[in-house]
Each structure stands twice: as structure tokens, then as C-alpha cells.
Structure 1
């Protein structure tokens, strides 16, 4: 009944004798085929909080474009407001994306730092859409609770700079949808574009489901009851709107190649001048003789 709504990530642990591949169709996460010593938590936290920046020589130009009438619908992914317990036992609200297509849980580095959660060093290679790969270097664990007190568990999360883009893609008026009265929504602000702090994967997703489900009248929108409250998901038809597209153009490689080209040209011109000078000198010498 449920399909994966998000092209996210899967994790397979490598072993010395056997390497298993995920059955997921679209993407996977795999351990690198090597074993490393994992530093203690104190060392990992020091590295995690150092905010070391990688220097680059890239020249990047941002180009703003306005695209008119880009879409008349958008897919709503399931979100929920949940509670996370920090190191001092204080509860914090955060916005989670529920994804039954992900084998792992993920948390943003920003929230991890805000809650001062302990981290450990790991070494995972994450492969996403188009076989793009990035590395995960840190993981953490914490207590997760629902706002209504129906669910609590301790989970492990991989730490990423960002879990996903802001959701939904664009905000819309709640009055477009008519819900049954008395529903406790998992995310009361499901219609407002906002940051995602946490992604809860398949292991959590199937634990929180209740059997009740309703379809919103005249829409391909579904309400699913969970221990977090009712989640909203499906395809929403929207009026046409203008979207702003920011394109980034990296010119580092072009600059580098042009630089090398001019260097080669300069060397060639210098050689030609030297050879010409020698020929003139030789001609003058032969005339004088």
C-alpha cells in the first residue's frame, strides 16, 4: 500500500568475507570495504565541533532566473513534529520526515550541535540518485518521543549537513483541503514550507502506523493515523505559480585550463622570438664575413 516517497539512502555493512547489496531499487548506503579504528566519543566530538572548512579555488557565479507556471501540483511527503531528548534530559521539538524507503535515520549537524548530542566517528559512503556519492563521518543516538506520549524509543542517526530541502516545496492554504473534524495532525504546519531536522527511516515508520486511513474528498491526498498523530501525504493540485531558480556556475576548471593555455602560448612565443633572434644574428654574421 505504501510506496517510497523519497529517493534517499540505504546502508549495508561490509564484512571481511561477504559484501551484501541492498535490494532497494533506487539507491543505497554502503560501508567502505575497510576497517578503521573508531576514536572515542570525546575525540569524535572535538572533531565534530571544530567546523573545519575545506578551502577551494572554485569561482562560482549564481544566476537568478524566474520560471513562470512551473507546476500545477506537488507531492506532499509525510512530516511530523516530534520530541528529542538532549544530554540534560530536556525535550526539544523538531520536524521529521517519515520515509519508509530509507534503511537509516538521519539528523542535521545543526540540530545535533544545538542539542549538544554526543557523536561517534563512522565511515559510510552514501549513494543517491544518479549514483552521486558523499561520505558520512559521524553518528549519534538519542531518545525520540511523540508529543502525545504514545511513543518513545532510543534511535541511532547518521549526521548530515542537511537531510533534505525545505518541505513542502511551496506553502499553500489549508482551506484547500477539508479534513474530518477532531483530527490531531502529526505536523500542524504541514502546509508551510520549512526545514527538516530529522529523517526517520523504515525501522521507525512501520512501528508508528495505526490501521486508520482516510482519503480527502476531491483530492489525491491521504490521511494516515500514526502514533505521532495523523500524517498528510499524496499529490496536491495547485494553482500555477512562479518559481525562482538559482543556478550556480563553477568556472574553476575553465580558469585553470585558460591559464595553462596562456602559459603554453607564452612559452611558444618566447621560443619563436629566441629562434628569430638567432637567425638574424647568424645572417648578419655571414654577411660580415
Structure 2
């Protein structure tokens, strides 16, 4: 069984691996032979909520790798950083850091970056737990167990043996 370690050191167990060849649709090359791990689910739907396509009108003339990228749907495949650099052509369209960016790949253009979500309701869960009292108690108990007692209560036989050796 294979696994992936992700954000927060979460480990996802895969059922098995498979080797596939990937290439752009309608082209004979380039072809990349990659190994994939089969998971029940890669992540939640992305984007979390569908986004208004109007936000991306400046990219409407581009042949997109995923024409429905703005719709919330399951992630089908996740390509790693080991192949990413080979997929990007280097062409990009951007305006400022608060706006989406279009990057050209061998599969078509992808849209990435910051998106205004004022009209979209997002659900964000954040969990944080701190328990210093428990840690202090655990450390105190550890040192109590490791501490050599200053005085001991000896049985009468043990006292006689100790006096004999002294």
C-alpha cells in the first residue's frame, strides 16, 4: 500500500499505483510516463464553491486546459512538482497580485491566483488546540518517576545487611 504525506503531515493511503502516459489532446508529443497513486479522494471539490465566470472574462479568448475550471467539482488528477516545470511553457498573462493569472501549459491555459469571492460564500474551518497544563503535568510526572528517592524505608533484614557492609 502506498501513501502520500500532505499538509499538516496528513497521510493518505493509496490502494495501488499505476503508470500512465500523458500528452496534450490532439498532439503526439510531448509524452510523459508518470506513476500515479490511486486514492479514493484527492481533496475536496475545487474551487470550494463555483465562481462567477465573468471574473475571468479577460481570459475568454484563451484555449483553456479546463474550460469549466470555475465550477466546483472533484479533482481528477494531481500532478506533482517533479513534472510541473515541464508542463509550463513560460507564457503568462497577469496584471497584479490581487488578480488571477493565466499560465500556458502544454495542455492549454490554466487560471490560478487570487480571486475575489465577495459574492461567493466560503466555508473555512480552523482548528487549534493548546494544552499546556497537560504537558506540565506530564513533565512533572516524568521527573517524579525518574527522580531517585532521597530516603528509603528498609526492612529490618535490609537494615542488618546494610550495617554489615558498612
Alignment TM-score, normalising by the size of structure 2: 0.63
- Coordinate RMSD, CA, aligned: 2.7
Q: Distance in 1 between matches of 2:59 and 2:4?
A: 41
User: How far has the Cα of 1:185 moved from its partner?
Assistant: 0.8
Tell me how far apart the structure 1 counterparts of residues 112 and 90 of structure 2 sit (CA, whole Å): 15
Note the residue ranges of structure 1 that are not aligned, 5 or more in a row. Answer: 1-122, 246-289
Query: Whose Rg is larger?
Result: 2
Structure 2 unaligned blocks of 5 or more: 125-166
* Deviations 1:172-231 (CA, angstroms, capped at 9, x unpaired): 221122325631111100111111111111222111111211115795211111111111
- 1:207, 1:239 → 2: CA distance? 35
Counterpart-to-counterpart distance in 1, 2:22 and 2:102: 23
What is aligned with 1:227? Answer: 106
TM-score by length of 1: 0.38
Residue 186 of structure 1: aligned partner: 65
Aligned residue number for residue 276 of structure 1: none
Structure-1 residue corresponding to 2:23: 145
Higher relative contact order (CA 8 A, sep 6+): 1
* Structure with more of its chain in strand, by fraction: 1
Summarize deviations over 1:223-270 as a string: whole Å, max 9, x none.
11111111100010122444579xxxxxxxxxxxxxxxxxxxxxxxxx
Equivalent residues, number: 124
Indicate yes or no: 2:3 matched with 1:133. Answer: no
The residue that corresponds to 1:174 in the other structure is: 53
